[in-house]
């Protein structure tokens, strides 16, 4: 038997007082006491649930899944769901649900093909965090921001799913290393830390980079640093020296030499060209 609609959020709840709602969207965070559950219920919305700690088994239309901490899972309307949380520990999770009327036809088609669960990206976490920074009373403009954040969260879910698919087709260690470099390219120890994050030996990683990306981890990092630096020349007012240091170069002269070798122009020439508005 389905639960009464008044118990849609389940039982044994310890609210974290983090819930922000518009007529179309809810972002929420909750902790369930041991033995907590939600359902059985019929899902009304498109929903993404992210498990942070504890454990959760969910049954959807008779098929059972086990959620993984640090991963997000996708729920679609009109499906029968039953969430069963850990019997021995608190379970902490966040969620976002969005009314079907706010979901475009194109997004619905993409969500229909999306996997049930994917690992969370930093961008996904930041979108969730941004929503919680907005507090009631909600003016019309703020409600619009929340609705757009929810849409962005679902599109980022699709992006995470696509990236996970690429990672699976290529190589997990290489994907972990390249993602680490993309997020920490300015750090002095970026290369060493990326190698450690990959979980494999240094020489093995070098071989995999050559085989899959036709480059080495070191060359990949310096190309990434240079590309980031060139982008910052046009998008920020930072000095060439500041950009060089932020991108992991030891000094602005090294940065200038590498930029000129790869781009054919000096950093100042690149900035002047971009800021002039010329194509």
Residue 42 above 70 pLDDT?
yes
- Beta carbons within 10 angstroms of residue 67's beta carbon: 22
Residue 4 above 90 pLDDT?
no
Instruction: Dump pLDDT digits (tens) for 207-250.
Output: 888 888 788 999 999 999 998 999 899 888 899 999 999 999 99
Residue 7 above 60 pLDDT?
no
Range with the poorest average pLDDT among 14-18, 75-79, 132-136, 263-267: 14-18
Instruction: Dump pLDDT digits (tens) for 83-125.
Output: 999 889 888 999 999 999 999 999 999 998 888 888 888 899 9
Tell which wins on pLDDT, 2 or 95.
Answer: 95
Q: What are phi and psi of 150, to 5 degrees?
A: -65, -45
Range with the poorest average pLDDT among 5-14, 113-122, 151-160: 5-14
Residue 248 contacts residue 187 (beta carbons within 8 Å): yes
Alpha helix (H) residue ranges in the chain: 105-113, 122-132, 140-169, 172-184, 190-198, 202-213, 217-235, 240-246, 252-263, 267-275
How do the domains of the chain map onto residue ranges?
Answer: 5-167, 172-275
Say which CATH topology domain 172-275 has.
Arc Repressor Mutant, subunit A (1.10.10)
Q: Calculate the average pLDDT of the chain.
A: 85
Burial 90-120 (b: 16+ CB within 10 A, else e): ebbbbbbbbbeebbeeebeebbeebebbbeb
Range with the poorest average pLDDT among 101-115, 125-139, 198-212, 257-271: 125-139
Tokens linked to 78: 């009109």
Residue 170 above 70 pLDDT?
no
Q: Could you confirm whether domain 5-167 is CATH 2.60.120.280?
A: yes
């Amino acid at each position: 038997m389905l639960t009464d609609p008044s118990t849609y959020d389940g039982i044994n709840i310890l609210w974290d007082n983090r819930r922000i709602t518009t007529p179309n969207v809810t972002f929420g965070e909750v902790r369930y006491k041991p033995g907590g559950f939600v359902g059985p219920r019929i899902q009304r919305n498109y929903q993404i649930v992210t498990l942070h700690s504890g454990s959760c088994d969910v049954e959807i239309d008779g098929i059972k899944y086990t959620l993984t901490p640090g991963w997000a899972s996708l729920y679609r309307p009109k499906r029968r769901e039953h969430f069963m949380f850990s019997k021995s520990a608190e379970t902490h999770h966040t969620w976002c649900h969005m009314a079907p009327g706010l979901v475009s036809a194109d997004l619905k088609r993409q969500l229909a093909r999306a996997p049930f669960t994917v690992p969370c990206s930093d961008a996904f976490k930041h979108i969730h965090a941004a929503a919680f920074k907005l507090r009631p009373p909600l003016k019309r403009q703020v409600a619009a921001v929340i609705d757009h954040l929810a849409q962005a969260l679902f599109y980022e879910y699709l992006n995470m799913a696509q990236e996970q698919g690429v990672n699976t087709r290529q190589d997990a260690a290489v994907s972990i290393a390249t993602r680490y470099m993309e997020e920490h390219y300015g750090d002095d120890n970026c290369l060493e830390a990326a190698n450690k994050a990959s979980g494999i030996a240094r020489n093995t990683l070098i071989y995999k980079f050559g085989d899959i990306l036709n480059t080495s981890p070191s060359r990949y990092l310096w190309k990434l640093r240079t590309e980031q630096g060139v982008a910052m020349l046009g998008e920020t007012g930072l000095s060439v020296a500041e950009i060089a240091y932020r991108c992991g170069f030891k000094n602005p002269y090294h940065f200038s030499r590498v930029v000129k070798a790869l781009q054919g122009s000096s950093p100042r020439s690149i900035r002047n060209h971009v800021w002039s508005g010329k194509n």
